[in-house]
Amino acid sequence: MDLDLNDQQRMLRDATRQFAEQRLLPQAKAAEEAGAMAPELRRELAAMGYCGIGTPERYGGSGLDAVSYALMVSELSYGDASVGVTVSVTNSLVQDPILMFGTEEQKRRYIPPLARGDVWGGFALTEPAAGTDAGGTRTTAVADGDHYVVNGAKSFVTNGGFADTFVVFVRGDREVKHGGISAFIVERDTPGFAIGKHEDKLGIRASSTTELVFEDCRLPRANLLGEWGQGFKVAMKTLDSGRIGIAAQAHGIAQRALDLAVKYAKERQQFERPLSTFQHIQFRLADMATDVEATRLLLLQAAFAKDVVTRNPGARYSQAAAMAKLFASEAAHRVVHQALQIHGGYGYIKEFEIERLYRDQRITEIYEGTSEAMRMVIAASLLK
Ligand SMILES: Cc1cc2nc3c(=O)[nH]c(=O)nc-3n(C[C@H](O)[C@H](O)[C@H](O)COP(=O)(O)OP(=O)(O)OC[C@H]3O[C@@H](n4cnc5c(N)ncnc54)[C@H](O)[C@@H]3O)c2cc1C
């Protein structure tokens, strides 16, 4: 792996950091209080090309590599973790599976509007009774002529409040566990499909999280994504890519928390000297910086591994992605905890940004596979 970023990657990282500092940080508090991202910010993100960063140019994207994608999500999350996940989902959880498993017709129809950010995407795997055990999907699809009739509900769908294109996983065969699942592309205005409850959350409050409800919803056969019964494979391959986005989100949050802690430690005086002059505080900062740097390296390695796979589709990068997500999210947990501690009582007060980062970080250990699920993936590849 080449540890040096190329000029294009460096430019994207620096431009995104500037955007994060000038545009995202100033709005993050108001957006989380409103519980939603402003539609004009979504339009800006689209205009800046963030919605189709890795999508091939022939489908309207920028055609950049996975390292660029990771840098972008990390820097967006530095400014606002809600923005990081919103952009990550429409790129990696929606366009990636359509690009990997879709027909040429599906790619031409659905990818360009997503890549341009004219519409946004959502990914619906989780259900009330099927979380870590995604093979337990209960939403059903029954063939009826040229259609499938879908009934059931999906939970916790990021971007559900405004997305137009969803990748949804359903069960066709009750007898077969993983092999009974299929993936579909679902358009928002399909009759029988509705957006359910909007979730009220601990963190990433400006990101949208909703239920999806299917009641005798008729999906055309043409919307089957991949082969019938191939849905579990579609989901797992998609999540390999998605986990790089969550590792990047955790990295951005941790880097921001570290920067805030360094600044605060230099400014805050106790015992007539800055906190930063106490060796205990210095050692904390050193541990935090080491966690952030180790995260960056694992993240880049996973993104690099994805780029190798893109050139050589036989290879896999599940283990690298799971290690990056596991380490990044747990390291970010340690870093935000210590950063808040360095802020003392002020860290507990909403006026201080670290309070939001402390809450925003927590989800990185849960979605797109919990830390326990990451350990299962890593152990499975060790023991195979
Ligand atoms: C804000 C938010 C956004 C989300 N966005 C999306 C989205 O866009 N699309 C989507 O499909 N889903 C989404 N999710 C769902 C998320 O991926 C799931 O919450 C997650 O996979 C865990 O599933 P669960 O909540 O049902 O927990 P459960 O599976 O019930 O797990 C509960 C606990 O038990 C542990 N556990 C479960 N099985 C085992 C085992 N075999 N061994 C050891 N421990 C185990 C888990 O690690 C966890 O700690 C989102 C969730 C949230 C909160």
The CATH H-level (homologous superfamily) assignment of domain 7-119 is: Acyl-CoA dehydrogenase/oxidase, N-terminal domain (1.10.540.10)
The CATH H-level (homologous superfamily) assignment of domain 232-383 is: Butyryl-CoA Dehydrogenase, subunit A, domain 3 (1.20.140.10)
Residue to mutate (ligand 1; options 138, 367, 377, 378; most atoms within 8 A of CB)? 367
Q: What are 87-97's pLDDT values in tens digits?
A: 999 999 999 99
Q: Quick check: pTM over 0.95?
A: yes
Q: Which atom in ligand 1 lies closest to the alpha carbon of residue 160?
A: 8
CA of 366 to the centre of ligand 1 (A): 6
Q: Does residue 81 have a pLDDT over 90? A: yes
Instruction: Say if residue 255 is exposed, middle or buried (CB neighbours under 10 Å; 0-12, 13-18, 19+).
Output: buried
Q: Does residue 152 have a pLDDT over 80? A: yes
Break the chain into its structural domains and give their ranges: 7-119, 122-229, 232-383
CA of 54 to the centre of ligand 1 (A): 27
Q: Does domain 122-229 have CATH number 2.40.110.10?
A: yes
Q: Which atom in ligand 1 lies closest to the alpha carbon of residue 93?
A: 8
Q: Residue 105 is which amino acid?
A: E
Residue 364 CB coordination number (10 Å): 31
Phi, psi of 181 (to 5 degrees): -100, 140
Phi, psi of 238 (to 5 degrees): -65, -40
CA of 370 to the centre of ligand 1 (A): 6
pLDDT confidence of residue 315: 74
Q: Does residue 175 have a pLDDT over 80? A: no
Over pLDDT 70: what percentage of the chain?
A: 98
Measured distance CA(310)–CA(304) in Å, rounded: 10
Residue nearest to atom 4 of ligand 1 (CA): 156
Mean pLDDT of all residues in the chain? 96
Among the listed residues 296, 215, 308, 221, the one whose alpha carbon sits nearest the alpha carbon of residue 251? 296
Residue 120 CB coordination number (10 Å): 25
Ligand 1 pocket by C-beta < 6 Å: which residues? 89, 123-126, 131-132, 156-158, 201, 209, 363, 366-370, 372-373
Residue 89 CB coordination number (10 Å): 26
pLDDT confidence of residue 316: 81
Q: Does residue 200 have a pLDDT over 90? A: yes
Q: What are 363-377's pLDDT values in tens digits?
A: 999 999 999 999 999
pLDDT confidence of residue 295: 98
CA of 127 to the centre of ligand 1 (A): 9
Residue to mutate (ligand 1; options 359, 370, 371, 377; most atoms within 8 A of CB)? 370
Among the listed residues 221, 154, 224, the one whose alpha carbon sits nearest the alpha carbon of residue 194? 154
Measured distance CA(16)–CA(271) in Å, rounded: 39
Q: Would 122-229 and 232-383 be classified into the same CATH topology?
A: no
Average pLDDT of the residues in 257-284: 98
Active-site entry in 75, 365, 368, 372: 368
Q: Specify whether 293 is catalytic.
A: no
